[in-house]
Chain A
């Protein structure tokens, strides 16, 4: 039996119906194909983005600012997360009780909050920045609409005001603004990154898609500073500034062998953790950014140059009678007129006339060249912002009287750091090393400036100056031989020297047999009756030096006998 012949299967419908069905099916297929082409061709990017936004998220990867440590690994500056509270004024409907509670929690005046929230024209307003995490949690617990939080960093300085000038500080965005924080911003600052990830239904990250920008944490910094010596130096300086009712002061402690800055402090100071009332003068890192006329602390340099080129010998006698020297219209005076002094005594008793006479023996260009060699008139390149260059005029413009006054530190200006560095030359057998704020691994090679013999001769003179019969017997310390020079300079006010305003200084090193540390102290305008460098600045030097040598465990080079105060007759008052 043939199916084809079956009457049941015989086509009983008109053929156009079959064509209609086929046509409809083809049309439907065509529509589907067109839709698919439309979605996958034209609209693909939009739809893929929509799809991805359901599961993929771009996350900020935070970066932390590097920490600062002292040479012994003590933390000096650390950033730690805090919250900032911000609002979208349009969404924030806090009023009445809510506003009261928010103001109380944040410790912000209610009126201030209200004013900020009333400004609906803005999309974003900070209510308070750098809020401790506990407070931020209490704010979150209030569940106020339109009030949001974000994470940021705040930097803490546990050493407080003792290190304020060296470290400086950062602003609210944790970017360095002063001191080392500014100088090493590039190294310390982190760079936040971002990455794209896939999150699951529970909000957990299940896959890393791509890192859009790699985050880079800031690098740590190990300073040359020794926080024990720094605290000691700051404390003693503050005591002296208070006792002498001075306007300010500075102290620098250098390691002779490596040129490292072990301590650097200034007064007036400030607390870097609370900078609410911060004024300009407090911010100044005087020891580095302020140049001053150093006075007699400069005498050893003129003498050293004259010794080095063989103009004089330590025992050469110089006539200083009658205690004054007239050059043109200017008169140079000594506080204690003498007839004749040896070169050694010129330093020991700090004779202006003697130093001036030695200076006049020298050619201006060789004196200028020497000052230039030891770094006067050039920034010390510590890396601090705003380092003082000091004033060293070109020798062609020098008049004889200026050359003479420069020998005892007038008509030339240097910063305390420059002065301290120049003294390392005497402590180091005549060569100079670059200074470093960062810890140094290997001692740098020195640049020779003077012969070893000259350096030894000047060391001996400086040791005499710090003994009874010199200007600074108060610089002595138990168990160590000390060498150093006082300075007492009239301050310049409106271009003229003020009769009653002084700057007292002392620069020295110890132990004299094998120097370890150079300390320079400067006290600005002592006004409690005393103004001589030997009385005001030398005791600070002695206390800091004694403490620092004990901390470093330096072997004593003198008998451990108590020091008796020098009889007044044996304490020479220098001429200012």
Chain B
């Protein structure tokens, strides 16, 4: 009888220690999750800022100015344009 009690005591101690470690483990994982979530929020903010920057660089007026001034491009004259009908099989309209 007393041997059985002793065994139960050992099992109880092991369980208790297990509970402590798993609790600790859970808390560590949770802290990590929190950190990652904070990082997600940060990246989301950065994504927004990059979208802003991309929009600013891609402004139509700016692209057009660069094309004209730096690349010396200009819209073709009407008489130098030729329109080709895309064959229906190719699908999609081409300019």
Contacts and interface: CB of A to CB of B under 8 A. Distances in A.
- Do A and B truly interact? yes
A205 B34 contact: yes
B93 A78 contact: no
A231 interface: yes
Given A158-B55, A553-B95, A560 B81 contact: yes
Contacts of A569: none
B74 to A, nearest CB: 13
Interface string B43-78: 011001101101110111100000000000000011
A372 interface: no
B27 interface: yes
A208 interface: yes
A550 interface: yes
Given A158-B59, A231-B61, A553-B93, A75 B30 contact: no
Contacts of A561: 78-79
Contacts of B54: 75
Contact of A232 (B60, B77, B79, B85): B60
Interface in A378-422: none
B89 interface: no
Interface in A44-86: 64, 67, 74-76, 78-81
A188 to B, nearest CB: 14
B78 A562 contact: yes
B44 to A, nearest CB: 7
A64 B30 CA distance: 24
Contact of A206 (B30, B83, B93): B30
Interface residues of B, number: 28
A508 B11 CA distance: 88
B60 A560 contact: no
Contacts of B51: 67, 75, 78
Contact of B31 (A75, A78, A205, A555): A205
B5 interface: no
B82 interface: yes
Given A64-B44, A231-B59, A204 B31 contact: yes
A67 B48 contact: yes
A156 B82 contact: no
Contact of A78 (B34, B52, B77, B82): B52
B79 A75 contact: no
Contacts of B60: 227-228, 231-232
A183 interface: no
Contacts, number: 75
A207 interface: yes
Q: How large is the interface on A (under 10, 10 to 19, 20 to 34, 35 or more residues)?
A: 20 to 34
Nearest to A546: B75
Nearest to B81: A560
Nearest to B76: A560
Nearest to A64: B44
B20 to A, nearest CB: 14
A556 B59 CA distance: 27
Interface in B81-95: 81-83, 85, 93-95
Contacts of A205: 30-31, 34
A555 B93 contact: yes
A79 B48 contact: yes
A208 B33 CA distance: 11
Contacts of B94: 553
A235 interface: yes
Contacts of A562: 77-79
A563 B60 CA distance: 26
Contacts of A67: 48, 51
A465 to B, nearest CB: 22
B83 A555 contact: yes
Interface string A474-506: 000011000000000000000000000000000
Given A206-B27, A206-B31, A553-B93, A80 B59 contact: no
B45 A80 contact: yes
A159 interface: yes
B83 to A, nearest CB: 6
A200 interface: yes
A519 B36 CA distance: 50
A555 B88 CA distance: 14
Contact of B34 (A76, A204, A563): A204
Contacts of A208: 30
Interface string A562-574: 1100000000000
Contacts of B44: 64
Interface in A117-176: 156, 158-159, 162
Contacts of A228: 60
Interface in A187-236: 200, 204-208, 227-228, 231-232, 235
A208 B11 CA distance: 30
A560 B83 contact: yes
Given A76-B55, A205-B31, A560 B48 contact: no
Contacts of B49: 78, 80
A477 to B, nearest CB: 9
A562 B76 CA distance: 11
A377 B51 CA distance: 41
A158 B27 contact: no
Contact of B48 (A74, A80, A159, A207): A80
Given A231-B59, A231-B61, A561-B79, 6 more contacts: A75-B52, A76-B55, A79-B48, A158-B59, A208-B30, A562-B79
List 3 tightest A-B contacts by C-beta distance, closest first: A158-B55, A206-B27, A231-B60
Interface of A: 64, 67, 74-76, 78-81, 156, 158-159, 162, 200, 204-208, 227-228, 231-232, 235, 478-479, 550, 553, 555-556, 560-563
21 contacts: A64-B48, A74-B58, A75-B55, A76-B55, A78-B48, A78-B51, A78-B52, A79-B48, A80-B49, A80-B52, A81-B45, A158-B52, A158-B59, A204-B31, A204-B34, A205-B31, A207-B27, A479-B81, A553-B94, A560-B83, A561-B79
